[in-house]
Homo-oligomer: A and B are copies of this chain.
Amino acid sequence: MNIAILFGGSSYEHEISIVSAITMKKVLKKSTITYIFVDANREFYLIDSEKINSKLFSSGEYKKSKPLTLKKGGFYAEGMLKNKQIPFDVALNLIHGRDGEDGKIASLLEFFSVPYISPRLEASALSYNKLYTKFLAESLGVKTVPYEHLCKNGERKITMEYPVIVKPVRLGSSIGVSIVRSESELDYALDVAFEFDNDVVIEPFIESVKEYNQAGCLSDAWELSIIEEPHKEEFLDFEKKYMDFSRDAQVLAAEIDETLKEKIRRSFKKIYDPLFKGSIIRCDFFVVDGEVMLNEINPIPGSMANYLFDDFEGMVWRLAKHLPKEQTVKVDYRYIHSIQQAKGKA
């Protein structure tokens, strides 16, 4: 199978997307990989998969690669006389953060009828926004961490007890996130968060909360990963997460009882089906007093959370064969015809 990996994007996570993309080379060993880079200026380039390395991008040398245009059916290299389509079976959206996770890339691929693995537009818009994620989860009967919502131009008052964690509503990879231990620190943390977003959510910071990650997808059947208990410091800052995005070694499953595992899996499925069909996502859950609460949805997890799966590549292949189909809309000009007839014009 020929998999086109879309990576880069106009995003704070542009660099970790490059790291994720390079990691895929070690993970998708039986596939042919077609690398399509979206630069910070949102121009598309076809990157030679033999030559890909991080310096190609940081040096700007990628600009010597073939520029591509996205049109009906796929990506095209501009030739002298005729456009040449780049062949691949499926596109894998690996753009973290803006463009990739907010629904823009999904919109582009859907609009131009390119088969793709990624959360679709609606799933993206809801999971990219931490506030909307909470609406979604609650409507599906999945508990979430309690929160308060502040706006950039609104009052800076919370009723929650300290310590709290302050998060910009729309960013991933811990950018702009702070732990606040007392009221006197709140203002500075909000200044930081509002640098990145007009909305923030504030949640209680639970010192040694149990966290479990579940990844998976629905191809022709459910394909759920092992459940990981991430061993981490207070929380991963951007640089640590950055290193984390190049992971490709398997991890050990969390040592928890089957009842809790089943609760986590059930919550994952509720979130995933049907909204996230066509994508491989990771959900991060907190467990407090035996109760499973959704912390975050990672709609495009670092290196696709490949390290949580036994047979990641096989799953990608199966998913590529079971992508959701867009509903067909027949345009037959029935109303215009009938009006023209009424007017005696037909």
Give chain A's interface residues, CB within 8 Å of chain B.
10-12, 14-16, 18-19, 40-43, 54-55, 57-58, 69, 71-72, 98-99, 102-104, 106-108, 110-113, 121-122, 124-126, 129, 131-132, 135-136, 139, 149, 196, 198, 238-239, 242, 274, 327, 329-331, 333-337, 339-340, 345
Q: Name the CB-closest residue of B to A112.
A: B42
B333 and A15 within 8 A (CB): yes
State how many copies of this chain the complex holds.
2
Which are the 7 A-B pairs with shortest beta-carbon distances?
Answer: A107-B107, A125-B125, A58-B333, A40-B331, A135-B135, A104-B107, A58-B336
Cβ contact of A108, chosen from B111, B129, B196, cutoff 8 A: B111
Contacts of A131 in B (CB 8 A): 139
A122 and B111 within 8 A (CB): no
A340 and B107 within 8 A (CB): no
B198 and A274 within 8 A (CB): yes
A121 and B139 within 8 A (CB): no
A42 and B111 within 8 A (CB): yes
Q: How many angstroms between the C-alpha atoms of A102 and B327 in the bound complex?
A: 14
B336 and A18 within 8 A (CB): yes
Cβ contact of A104, chosen from B55, B111, B330, cutoff 8 A: B111
Q: Name the CB-closest residue of B to A111.
A: B104
User: Which one of A11, A102, A135, A329 has the greatest number of beta carbons of chain B within 10 Å?
Assistant: A329
B98 and A125 within 8 A (CB): no
B103 and A121 within 8 A (CB): yes
Contacts of A340 in B (CB 8 A): 54-55, 58
B335 and A10 within 8 A (CB): no
Q: How many angstroms between the C-alpha atoms of A239 and B198 in the bound complex?
A: 42
Contacts beyond the supplied A15-B334, A104-B111: 5 A-B pairs with Cβ under 8 Å: A42-B72, A55-B336, A69-B69, A122-B129, A125-B126
Q: How many angstroms between the C-alpha atoms of A106 and B111 in the bound complex?
A: 11
A103 and B125 within 8 A (CB): yes
B121 and A125 within 8 A (CB): yes
A71 and B69 within 8 A (CB): yes
Q: How many angstroms between the C-alpha atoms of A110 and B102 in the bound complex?
A: 12
Cβ contact of A121, chosen from B107, B274, B331, cutoff 8 A: B107
